[in-house]
Structure 1
Amino acid sequence: MNIKQPARTRAYMKQRTLAQLLTVTLGLAVLPLSAGLSLVMAAENEATRIYNIPAGALDSALANFASEAGVVLSFEAEQAKLLMTQGLKGSYTLKKAFEALLQGSGLQVIEVHPGRFTLKKIDLTAGATGVADTLPEVKVIAQADNQTDLMSAYAGGQVARGSRLGLLGNKDVMDTPFNTTSYTAELMENQQAITAADVVLNDPSVRTVSYSLTNAAAGGDIFLIRGFQVQDSVLFDGISGIASNRSAPVEMAERIEVLKGSSALLNGMAPGAGGSVGGSINMVPKRAGDKPLTRLTTSYMSNSNFGGHVDIGRRFGEDNAWGVRFNGLYRDGKNATAGQSIEMGIASLGIDYRGDHLRTSLDVGHQIMNNEAPQGAAGFGIADNISIPSPPNAKKRIAQNWEYANSKSNYLLIKAEYDLTSNWTLYGAAGGSNTASSYLSTDINVVDTQGNAQATVYYWPNWTNYRTAQGGIRGSFSTGAVSHQLNLNANYLMKDSGYTAQYYGFSSFDTNIYNLPSISRPSTASMDSHPDKTNRLQLPSLAVADTLGLLDDRLTVTLGGRYQRVEVIDYSSTGESTTSYDSDAVTPVLAAVIKPGANWSIYSNYIEGLTQGDTAPIGTTNAGKVFPPVKTKQHEIGVKYDFGYFTTTLSAFQIAKPNGLNVSNGDGISTYQIVGEQRNRGVELNIFGEIQGVRLLGGATYIQPQLTHASSDAYNGNTAPNVSRWQLNLGSEYDLSFVPGMTLTARMMSTSAQYLDEANTRTIPGWTRWDVGARYKTMAAERPLVLRLGIQNLFGRDYWSSGSGSWLYLGQPRTVMLSATIDF
């Protein structure tokens, strides 16, 4: 019997109640401010003000104007992208100011609500000019009835106003009972991002552990979200098993969305190691816009990596019902680490149809990624009995020149939804992916502070095949004064894998991380490069969620649950199958959002996650045993405030996850058991938007990672290893008024120290990294042209990035990036 549990429970309930009271008090304190802002906004509609908006890019000028005028202006990035304006100088009313800024652009502004505006293409046949005095007739489709719509960009254009939440559909950030951020294609282009890992680094709750551009990353890109690992769990259009499990290139995404916290109900159990306990990442595919697009980008990355990207989009047919979007990319050459190179090729095609009742889409793609001299899949192991050595120079090669990590993958996804009535929609999806990889690399075990190490060579050919299907019905109805948004869903995911572990450690040699010796390549001629199927993972599930709206939807409550079955089948070398385990679980959710005012909301949630069970390691009495799925539990409360041009979210969370431990039997032998627990409590502050012409993006995260059940009673209450307490991000952009079209950028990322062991005796130091850049929008041969320069890790800071246990990774070296984008 655990007599400590009631005390901990009472303490937690007190803390939770206190947090709720503080949040409500904060909300009541800012309520008068909200009302005051609304009154000022209404008065300024008719008043004149003096503006000084420089000529230049229309999207930036509009963002600056909205910030100065104190209004909300939302529009699709493509509407104003690469258009120019003569600027604004002098005294104007709101209406006249918009007219002057939009002159010659073919756009007009529409006031959708008091103080809230959007852009619309001028209908010349109707004689529309300037600001519309009345709203045009529009067809309104509830977001719950159409999950294919893309949320508009927020002020500044770096993030969207909302994101897709799987079973809950599209949600505005103010209506979402979770902490989410949706990064736009505009941000990805301006930051010259290559994979999703580059994009999510903007979030203070996320850190990259293993980066596929520099590491073998046998399990793909690995992220820490809220202090828990997320691996092989990137969604594509809300579906698992489609995006490559090696890396996720940004060229095929219009949005990259980060949901912080457990999410088993929303998207089902993630198939990757570690699941999505701390959060999930979703890539929203590109779709053709109404405006024809032909865009060419050329790029350079130090030391000599060159690339080209073409993006073509067209719509045709009656009412532009059919759309085609093609993206092709190829880059190859040496990167910033001497002797290391990366080759990447991508071809993706998105075809969609949007009718009055039927909407369908088809996404297909092919991807290759080949690394030379990657830094190993597990990074650097540091012996337990030595102090942590200083990180080596990240610009110097540590791997042998014969090491490589190659992969290729294909994917296909078909989705459709049909409106049975104005309130009810049937939907379905089916697809899959194939990835084949081959790694000849080393794990490096450092044995002393002088950097001497033992390199263990492994050859690991492997493949994975995913097949997935889902279907459901969603709709809205009312019961008296209560509205309902109901979704019933059935989902199936199957993952087949083939690999061999017999070639791990077939060779080894002595090395040094500061002074690399040259070693001859070991032979792999007799090794099998096409392994048979070794296991199958099957994940069928049934889910239901209902969002109830009360008090004219100022209060929404979401109730739901997912029944998830998990079956693992192992295959022998002769093809015989054995069921390792067949288990099931129910993961519920209870979430609420209350909107005391038009511009702010308070939310809370209780949601559970589900991740695949551990396998008992070699050296234990039950080695090879696979444990049932592990449940994680999250409690969260937060407040969000939208100032019209700037939004901030403050949230507090707790996630508890069971852990596996080697439990001593008293005779020198141990048995692996799921008896440990790690509990991460934290506070997050997120900001995005634009203030006085400065675009801001980032925030801060504080986490208390605690071992509530450790391998030894002496470690209970210690800080959990591999989690930093403080993470701080702040990115900014500023348009130079004296150089029209020129923008300067800067980003700072800071991470505090981390323990590497349960005893809290060994640490790696914290680090701070600075990225800077500039871009210039101009015209070339009467074509819009954007030139970009970026320098990542400006000061060349060498630092360790924590992985798992005492395995570490090196941070990215100083990297210079150049690109030029032109529209035809």
Structure 2
Amino acid sequence: MNSKIAISIAAKSKHGKRLRLGTLALSIALAFCLSPTVGFAQSTTPAQINIPAQSLHQALLELGRQTDIQIYYLPETVANQNAPAVSGTLTAQQALAQLLRGTGIEVQWSGKTASLLRSAPETTTQLAPVIVTGSLPGALPPAYAGGQMSTGGHVGMLGNKDVMDTPFSQTSYTSKTIRDQQAQTLQDVLSNDPSIVTKQNSASDEDGSINIRGFPTTFASGAGSLNGLTGMAPLRAPDMDYIERVEVLKGPSALLNGMAASGASGPGGSYNLVTKQADDEPLTELTTRYDSRSQLGAHLDVGRRFGEDNRFGIRFNGAYRKGDTPVDSIESKVGSAALNLDYRGERVRLSADFAHQSNDASPQVIQQLAVTSLGFVPEAPDADTSLNPAWSKQRSRLTLGMVRGEVDVIDNITAYAAIGKQKLDFYLIGPSQPTLRDTSGTYGWNSAEYSRYAYDVLSMQGGLRAKATTGPVSHALSLNLSQSRMEIGSAETQVRPYDYTTNLYNPVFGPAPFLADPGDPGTSSKSRVSSTAIADTLSILDERIQLTAGIRYQEVQASNFDTTTGAETSNYDSDAWTPALGLVIKPWEKVSLYANYIENLQQGAIVGPSYANSGEVFSPYVSKQYETGVKVDWGTVTTTLAAFQIARPNTISVDDPTGGLPTLALNGEVRNRGLELNAYGELTPGVRLMGGVTLLDARQTKTQGGLYDGHREAGAPRIRAVLGGEWDTPFMQGLTLTGRITYSGDQVVSSNNENLKLPAWTTVDLGARYVLDSPWSKQPVTLRFNVDNVFGKNYWSGTNNRYIQLGSPRTFRLSATFAF
């Protein structure tokens, strides 16, 4: 969170005359003495500056956020002054000079402090507040050139780090990207990343099955963090209206984030959501929306700060939409409300978040089918056709709350703590496990169900971050203690047989069976993960060489229960150590070479009754990543190139030569090797890009007798490319044209059958936004129009566990944002 400190000083002469600039100088000197972050030499190091044209006051605040200088001035000094756009690699002094050009305002420098002066009239009465711009500890990294991406993000227990100082592959999408793409769910945002395969149909609010670097994970696994607290990201389709940043960390993250309470987080990567907080400037925005086919909605965003130095903040976001979705016959009602409260003192920073999400849909919105022993996957049907009967429905309710805080114990030691809880209740009514039965498109069900589920998550953490120097070596030490608990409940009523068959290309559904309410969910599983971690980042030569080393010890306890009797059916108790190493070398100022070795931890399987070794508990699965890469900041464009290998243990079924039950053995492995090239930023003023390409070789190794060695892993395309761009048109001021093209290579549906594949697909998204003056307010009105899948491509978007997902149809999104 960025800061603006106001200092008021009143003084009079003995004759009652008010003091002039002498008093101003005194107030500036006093403010200088009170500021603990003022340096003693002007900053001459160029930095990436990106400040749009706006009022001079707002431009100065933004300059303070993006650099390490502090700026002092009276409000009347900059009143009614406008500043031009300033961007490029500049020193803070050069950027300030460009902002002040032609204003007649003079600058007096003292170290890294700039005092803005203008001749004051003799009749000055009382000195108004002096404005100081700067950054509070723990502030979000500023946006990069173009505003779509951030210059850094949260790296687990290491805290916020600049992307050039991070020995891992990291991306951070800003609220500008979320707003301008009219993203509604997390999958909408993650679709910008070429290393992530999203499978969600645009009508869906399902559990969010995604693949990162070829490894599957789901939102319901608890793999996501909220404001750095593991497991607290909403478990079902996180709504983007109250999210400020979406930060993605690719690769295993056991040291950095710890293990999710469910024990099921994938080794391909993790994400952290940052909630919106009140900024220094008052905010009131109303956005009205229309989505095809006829879904109407609105979003209200209000933020204010109060008290001395704007220490107290409140931010409220509320949204609701209702109507027909882009998939024909599906209607939905989606709502969210989120409140953030925060306090920022000199040494203490506190915040609290509360959120509620709801989603009702009929028919069910999950557009997926199981595929078994077919020779090939038939052509995808119209993407705007529902594959579920009209009597099916779903409903979810999610509520969460969390509190976090940090204290600067002394200048170089910060203590932090956070605790959060979320509850998710949802039910599904509909046919069970729809299965594709032949290559002509016939599919059907054998049963129908009414299922209720309940998730209860409690997560907490605490720790210390400290800085120290030993000779020529600087240390950034981190200590983290965490614990997460998850309880899952379920209840189900089934009608069996419910044998019904129809066809993808002309689905006709039968009458609804009678499905009794199964009642409140009974506990089906409980899990608890506790961990302790320590890490040190050692740096030398003005941080041109940085080595991060750390280790985390984790204990995992889990139990499964009979939902009817409550009796424990199996249990799990194990532990593991997971180390990590990361190295950053900066041979030149804007070039970072990096490498890492890091591990991931997943709960080992409890063998089921269909195997001879039923009840056996496997040790936690440890996945290992080796990665190296180079990051280059070209001034207004950053490029990253990464090469990685991730190996994850796999289970295989070993046949009994005597004809008995097979044995489940942990002696297979999935090995994913890949290259990632990403770029983002502003090519030239008014032209922005964001995207990249991922080449992936995902194979099975060490399978029984080598039977499947070398087979491609399911759900991992060999190539995926995403390229998005924006152009501020010169022929019409305020008009921006946008576009994105996505290509995904073919995907294997079953790792045991390389011939069963989903074909490659390409989609094109186009859009425009127009900023115009408001007739009733000084704030502009922003109109946005986006069309996803412009050409109406019908395609299978992805696969997981032999389920194939139907892609999104052509979707129109229109909105108008009014600021007051």
Instruction: Establish whether TM, by shorter chain, passes 0.5.
Output: yes
Alpha-carbon distance change, 137 to 114 in structure 1, aligned in 2, over 3 angstroms: closer
Do 1:238 and 1:282's aligned partners in 2 also have CA atoms closer than 8 Å? yes
**Equivalents in 1 of 2:215, 2:597: separation in Å?**
18
Instruction: From 530, 555, 580, give the equivalent of 1:589.
Output: 580
Report the alpha carbon displacement of residue 512 of structure 1 after superposing the two structures with TM.
1.6
1:11 aligns to what? none
Distance, in Å, in 2 between the alignment partners of 1:647 and 1:261 is 20
1:105 aligns with 2:82: yes
Deviations 1:412-443 (A, max 9, x none): 11001111100001111111101101011332
- Does the Cα contact within 8 Å between 2:54 and 2:85 map onto a contact in 1? no
Work out the CA distance in 2 between the residues paired with 1:116 and 1:561: 42
Determine helix, strand or coil for the equivalent of 2:406: strand
Query: Could you tell me whether the CA contact under 8 Å between 2:493 and 2:515 is conserved in 1?
Result: no
Instruction: Tell me whether 626-635 or 420-429 shows the greater mean CA deviation.
Output: 626-635
Match of 1:364 among 331, 354, 357: 354
What is the root-mean-square deviation in Å for CA atoms of aligned residues? 3.0
- 1:730 and 1:79, CA in 2 relative to 1: closer, same or farther beyond 3 A? farther
Q: 1:248-647 alignment to 2 at 5 Å?
A: 248-272=238-262, 274-376=264-366, 379-442=368-431, 443-455=433-445, 456-500=447-491, 503=494, 507-525=498-516, 527-572=517-562, 573-577=564-568, 580-616=571-607, 619-622=610-613, 627-647=618-638
1:780 to 750, 774, 780: 774
Secondary structure of the residue aligned to 2:410 is coil
Match of 1:691 in 2: 683
Question: Any conservation in 2 of the 1:151–1:161 contact (CA below 8 Å)?
Answer: yes
Alignment of 1:682 onto 2:678: no
SS in 2 for 1:251: coil
Distance 1:766 1:583 in 2: 42
Secondary structure in 2 aligned to 1:703? strand
Task: Give the Å deviation of 1:524.
Answer: 1.8
Distance in 2 between residues matched to 1:112 and 1:713, nearest whole Å: 55
TM-score by length of 1: 0.84
Using the TM superposition, give the Cα deviation of residue 550 of structure 1 relative to its aligned residue in structure 2, in angstroms.
1.4
* 1:469 Cα deviation after fit: 1.3
Q: Are 1:228 and 2:219 counterparts? A: no
Consecutive unaligned residues of structure 1, counting only runs of 5 or more, are 1-69, 84-100
Q: Equivalent residue for 1:164?
A: 154
Pair 1:616–1:802, CA change in 2 (3 A): farther
Q: What is the percent sequence identity of the aligned residues?
A: 38
Q: Distance in 1 between matches of 2:360 and 2:347?
A: 44
Decide whether the 8 Å contact of 2:49 with 2:87 is kept in 1. Answer: no
How far did residue 454 of structure 1 move?
2.0
Q: Does 1:733 align with 2:729?
A: no
Aligned residue type for 1:373: P
SS of match in other structure, 2:434: strand
1:770 aligns with 2:759: no
Q: CA deviation at 1:708?
A: 0.9
CA distance in 2, matches of 1:524, 1:403: 11
SS of 2:177 mapped into structure 1 = helix
State the one-letter code of the partner of 2:767.
Answer: G
Q: Distance in 2 between matches of 1:245 and 1:508?
A: 32
Task: Measure how far apart 1:707 and its partner are.
Answer: 0.8
Matched, 1:752 2:752: no
How much does 1:508 deviate? 3.5
Task: Report the more deviating stretch, 346-355 or 711-720.
Answer: 711-720
Q: Deviations over 1:50-107 (max 9, x none)?
A: xxxxxxxxxxxxxxxxxxxx98314599999999xxxxxxxxxxxxxxxxx9993368
Give the alignment's TM-score, normalised by structure 2.
0.84
Specify every segment of 5 or more residues in structure 2 that has no aligned partner in the other structure, as ranges: 1-45, 60-77, 116-130
Indicate the SS of the match to 2:232. coil
Alignment partners' CA distance in 1, 2:328 and 2:172: 35
What CA distance in whole angstroms lies between the structure 2 residues aligned with 1:238 and 1:208?
A: 23
* 8 A contact 2:770–2:782 mirrored in 1: yes
Q: What is the CA distance between 1:569 and its match in structure 2?
A: 1.8
Task: Please tell me whether the aligned partners of residues 143 and 150 of structure 2 are also in contact (alpha carbons under 8 angstroms).
Answer: yes
Does the CA-based 8 Å contact 2:287-2:299 persist in structure 1? yes
Do the aligned residues in 2 keep the contact of 1:484 with 1:546 (CA within 8 Å)? yes
| CA distance in structure 2 between the partners assigned to 1:499 and 1:477 by the alignment | 51
**1:246 aligned residue:** 236
1:406 Cα offset (Å) = 0.8
Aligned mates of 1:131, 1:510 — CA distance in 2: 78
Deviations 1:441-489 (A, max 9, x none): 3321111112112224232201010111111111100111111011111
Could you tell me how far apart the structure 1 residues matched to 2:709 and 2:660 are?
A: 22
How many correspondences in the alignment? 728
Q: Is the 8 A contact 1:108 1:120 kept in 2?
A: no
Separation in structure 2 between the aligned mates of residue 119 and residue 274 of structure 1, nearest angstrom: 50
Residue 522 of structure 1 aligns to a residue whose secondary structure is: coil
Work out the CA distance in 2 between the residues paired with 1:740 and 1:108: 14
Aligned residue in 1 for 2:654? 663
Deviation at 1:528, TM superposition (A): 1.6
Q: Contact conserved, 1:742 with 1:774, CA < 8 A, in 2? A: yes
Give the match for residue 792 of structure 1. Answer: 788
Is the Cα contact below 8 Å between 1:231 and 1:272 reproduced in 2? no
CA 1:703–1:82: 2 relative to 1, 3 Å:
farther
CA–CA separation in structure 2 for the residues paired with 1:115 and 1:351: 32
Give the CA deviation at 1:264: 0.9
Tell me if 1:808 matches 2:804. Answer: yes
1:178-189 alignment, distance < 5 Å: 178-189=168-179
Describe the SS at the equivalent of 1:350.
Answer: strand
Larger mean Cα displacement after TM superposition, 104-113 or 257-266: 104-113
How far apart, CA to CA, are the structure 2 residues paired with 1:752 and 1:477? 49
Q: Which amino acid aligns with 1:823?
A: A
- Paired letter, 2:727: Y
CA-CA distance at 1:612 after TM superposition: 2.3
CA distance in 1, matches of 2:428, 2:267: 28
Letter in 2 for 1:441: G
After TM superposition, give the deviation of residue 619 of structure 1 in Å: 3.6
Computing the radius of gyration from Cα coordinates, the structure with the larger value is: 2
Partner of 1:702: 695
Moved more, 168-177 or 495-504: 495-504
Report the secondary structure of 2:255's partner residue.
helix
Q: Amino acid of the residue matched to residue 683 of structure 2?
A: I
Partner deviation per Cα, 1:248-291 (whole Å, 9 max, x = no partner): 11111110011111111111112357403100111011110000
- 644 and 79 in structure 1: CA distance in 2 versus 1, 3 angstrom threshold: farther
Q: Is the 8 A contact 1:77 1:153 kept in 2?
A: no
* Cα distance change of structure 1 residues 408 and 805 upon mapping to structure 2, 3 Å threshold: closer
Alignment partner for residue 650 of structure 1, among 641, 653, 664? 641
CA gap of 1:294–1:350, structure 2 versus 1, over 3 A, is same
- One-letter code aligned to 2:214: G
Correspondence for 1:19: none
CA contact (8 A) 2:297 2:320 kept: yes
Whole-angstrom distance in 1 between the partners of 2:241 and 2:311: 24
Distance 1:326 1:77 in 2: 27
Matched, 1:73 2:49: yes
**Aligned residue type for 1:225:** I
